[in-house]
Chain A
Amino acid sequence: MHQLRRLDDGLDRGEGLTLSIIDRRPGLRVGLLLTPPMLWLGAAYLGALGALLITSLWTQNDFTGNIERVWTLENFKTLFTVEVYRTITVRTIGLAALVTAVDALLAFPIALYMAKIASPRAQRLLVIAVLMPLWASYLVKAYAWRGMFSADGPIEWVLQPFGLNTPGYGMVATTVTLAYLWLPYMILPVYAALERVPDSLFEASADLGAGSVHTLRRVVLPMAFPGFVAGSIFTFSLTMGDYIAVKIVGGTTQLLGNVVYDNQGAANNLPFAAAVATVPIVVMLGYLAAARRTGALESL
């Protein structure tokens, strides 16, 4: 092996000597390969997250605007005791749950159609049709719904003959827009899960006397469950951190993301923003732990 390698040209001859050490020690090879990405993610990114937690325990001098490195729980006390922040926290988590539920309801039929009814060709086209909006700018999609919900937009135009009006900018528009934005993230994993349900299971269930709806509820839904869990991680997390869409279609509605954004920047209160940002972190870690407990993540 080593003799053969020495026959090789230029670069490799030098390599043959140094890399043979690496060949004998796979741990060294992994270590060398992993060092750059781990420095970036482990040191820089995790470091930044850690620093964020530390900063949330500092305070800001109201007069100079400078951050004072004094340990205090004041930020968290404000967060938990001031009524408006409690309302916003509950609203954000509730909205994340609502958006996730809406997306799950919309995703199931289309994913089932894609996986079990569409011909292979239609299946391919549908995957593209679902993916395409993912590439259209996030901002453009939120903006599109601003147009839809506007006072003289298409929704008003459709509803007016029935004596109804557009709901305008607020919680309804925010829910619709966020559900719209994250829908592909739910459809794709559910579709992937349904694809793996063998057709023979449908037949077996029918042979045993179950109707279509019964089969869906008792056989297909449980098997699609891991897909829903995977999709919900995205819909939930993305909603927890959003503040742009809500600014575009939410009117005066405030979410946790808005509180974080409004408190960052030179003139504002970065330590408090950091404290607020820990809420989505804790909620998401809890959500991930719960998702893990269902065992859904392993079977993906």
Chain B
Amino acid sequence: MARSSIISPGLRRSLTGITVLVLVFVYVPLTLVVVNSFNIDNTFGFPPPGYTLHWWQVAWESQGARSALWTSVKVAIAATVVALLLGTLAAMALRRTRFFGRNVVSLLIILPIALPGVVTGLAFQNGFRTILGIQLSLWTIVIAHATFCIVTIFNNVQARFQRLGGNFEQASMDLGAGRWTTFRLVTFPMLRSALLAGALLSFGLSFDEIVVTTFTASSQDQTLPIWIFQNLFRPNQAPIVNVVAAVLVIVSAIPIYLAQKLSGSQAEGLTASP
């Protein structure tokens, strides 16, 4: 390989070694969670004295875990729908237009994810309860989640606009299509995969969120992360929590696979980083 010649063999070897070590560091804890879900010992002694499927069966029947999962899915879908709408509108507005507030708008979109979760969470809780006098509910969670999900859609749509430019839409308009027809037949199909990748990321972000959620959820609303957190320290629930955790580790491969299919390659569309 030609490119290897730019780095000396010695350095090359040490970089390879460190890379392997970092990957081990990344994957050993996740593997442990999956292994422990089969651990016969309910205090997770290592190495496991024996293996069982018992905990998987118990977890499957756990009412708490099931209803928390459903709550999380509902919240994530609702937050994603709102984010899709607002993120796309914002990206369309900032496209091709230079105006004085442009940077302010981008900053405002990034802010909810750049500020620590406790700040966003407490700001919303204080806003809802102290200022507006609203009871916390599933809807308050959705509002808070949608706020930090907008950036995922915005980034994806903006990147797509930058890549494809406006020629197709211009052509469509020149050929007599109106704005709406152009949006429906040209702009939207052009954005579809970017929207899907953004929505996937937004769903994942909301589904996984716990800090902002604890501040904006009432005591009755249990999303899956809240359920996990509340049962984490209960010894008799620990094996069930561990199975749920193992499932989440395994399931996390699905969005990676989908996003890879959607965006072809590279990190575009997969990271929340602005």
Contact = CB atoms under 8 A, between A and B. Distances in A.
B130 A33 contact: no
B252 A37 contact: no
A286 interface: no
Given A12-B178, A139-B225, A237-B116, A152 B108 contact: no
Given A140-B248, A280-B116, A281-B115, A124 B99 contact: no
Given A8-B177, A48-B127, A144-B245, A127 B116 contact: no
B208 A113 contact: no
Contacts of A11: 178, 180-181
Per DSSP, are chain A's interface residues mostly helix, strand or loop, or mixed? helix
B26 A129 contact: yes
A154 B32 CA distance: 9
Contact of A152 (B10, B43, B150): B43
A106 B24 CA distance: 12
Nearest to B116: A241
Interface size on B, as a range, is 35 or more
A15 B11 contact: no
Interface in A103-135: 106, 109-110, 112-114, 116-117, 119, 124, 126-135
B97 interface: yes
A52 B123 contact: yes
A46 B108 contact: yes
B155 interface: no
A270 interface: yes
B249 A157 contact: no
A238 B115 CA distance: 8
Interface string B251-274: 011011000100001110011010
Contacts of B229: 139, 244
Given A55-B126, A244-B210, A260 B118 contact: yes
Interface stretch (B12-20, B51-59, B160-168, B187-195): B12-20
Contacts of B25: 106, 180
A63 to B, nearest CB: 18
Contacts of B81: none
A55 B130 contact: yes
A238 B19 contact: no
A240 B116 contact: yes
Contact of A248 (B1, B127, B232): B232
B59 to A, nearest CB: 14
Given A139-B228, A188-B267, A117 B16 contact: yes
B208 A8 contact: no
Interface in B98-114: 99, 105, 108-109, 111-112, 114
Contact of B46 (A47, A109, A152, A211): A152
A144 to B, nearest CB: 4
A143 B228 contact: yes
A40 B16 contact: no
Contacts of B30: 133, 136, 140-141, 144
B38 interface: no
A192 interface: yes
Contacts of A124: 265
17 contacts: A12-B180, A29-B93, A36-B86, A44-B147, A109-B19, A110-B22, A113-B15, A128-B260, A131-B256, A135-B253, A136-B249, A137-B249, A138-B210, A143-B232, A147-B32, A241-B211, A261-B118
Interface of A: 4-5, 7-8, 11-13, 15-16, 19, 22, 26-27, 29-30, 33-34, 36-38, 40-42, 44-49, 51-52, 55, 67, 106, 109-110, 112-114, 116-117, 119, 124, 126-141, 143-148, 150, 152-154, 156-157, 180, 183, 185, 188-189, 192, 199, 202-203, 206, 211-213, 216, 230, 233-234, 237-238, 240-244, 248, 256-257, 260-261, 264, 270, 273-274, 277, 280-281, 284, 288
